[in-house]
Amino acid sequence: MFILTGLLCSASGLWRNYQYIKISMTWTDAQSYCRERFTDLATVDSMDDVNRIIDLVNETDGYKGSVWIGLQKAAQKRWVWSNGEETISQYNAWDILEPYGSGDCVSNYYNAWYDGGCENSIRFACYNESTGYVRINSLKNWTDAQSYCRQHYTDLAIVHNSQEQQQLHAVLGRFYSFWIGLYLDSWQWSDQWNLTFKNWAAGHPLGNYGDCVAMLTTDSGKWVRYDCDQKHYFICNGANRQIVRLNFSNDGKQNLIDPSVQDAILNEINVKLKSLGLENAQINWRKDEDGEVFHLIEQRVNSSTPCDIQP
């Protein structure tokens, strides 16, 4: 008789089942906690996600403070849009010699794009999902302009193609520079999610506050930078992982140490789960400290090594 240990985990989707963990930990320790028990530190894609986290905390204990989420400083920067879209590979309207490297935020001037310092206060362009581009003549830095557009419209202006660029130009005219929603992102999610929605508090992410990010449970869930060694409560995403221990009898004809045999058993279990309507379930074997999956029943040992599942 052999004992087979496996770890059954629910696959994460776009609708994340957030978990509020009221234990004070550093960012790295919080990440490890979430990965061992759930999926990862929380990834946040929209204001709807922000509001769901705030509601979760309020319904639990009404905590007024900061909670870690899964955002941290990245090794490389990339151009992204304020609404969370990742790249501008299909279309851009950079002027000649742009981007010049003079800043991480982008303005539109006379139908072309220019990079500049995000702290500069200039006019800006919002968009509304139902009515299109909106010219705002108030002077704000890029982050404050983003907050204004999200509060009163949908977001800072997003441009996907030349037709939209011409529409934007027609609204803005040629005499002033206007912030649009393009910026150079230097942050990444713990689970490697590639959407780039951000909800920074005033003054962030500028400055040298730290390389890890927490969400305020007040101030509309704004995000702030902290030193990663600070301790805060935190938010995980994903449902609880379940450990399922199975007993198998083996007549000696199958080599259960063979990875191909182990994969075949997993495949059979997955087929059964799908037949029961559990199409999003994921199963991985959980190895013990000796690297083995199977053990004789009299040699059974416990392990705390988690499976490695990408959401």
pLDDT of residue 193: 81
pLDDT of residue 267: 76
pLDDT of residue 11: 35
Report the 3 state secondary structure along 250-303.
CCCCCCCCCHHHHHHHHHHHHHHHHHCCCCCEEEEECCCCCCCCEEEHHHCCCC
Pairing mode, strands 212-216 and 223-226:
antiparallel
Please give the domain boundaries of the chain with CATH numbers for all domains: 2-11+261-299 (no CATH), 18-237 (3.10.100.10)
pLDDT of residue 49: 92
pTM, entire model: 0.59
Per-residue pLDDT of the chain in tens (311 residues, 90 and over written 9): 333 333 333 333 346 789 999 999 999 999 999 999 998 999 998 889 999 999 999 999 999 999 999 999 988 888 889 887 765 556 899 999 999 888 999 999 999 999 999 999 999 999 998 889 999 999 999 989 999 999 999 999 999 999 999 999 999 988 899 999 999 888 899 988 877 788 988 888 876 789 999 999 998 899 999 999 999 999 998 765 555 666 666 666 667 677 777 777 777 777 776 676 655 455 666 665 566 766 665 544 444 444 444 44
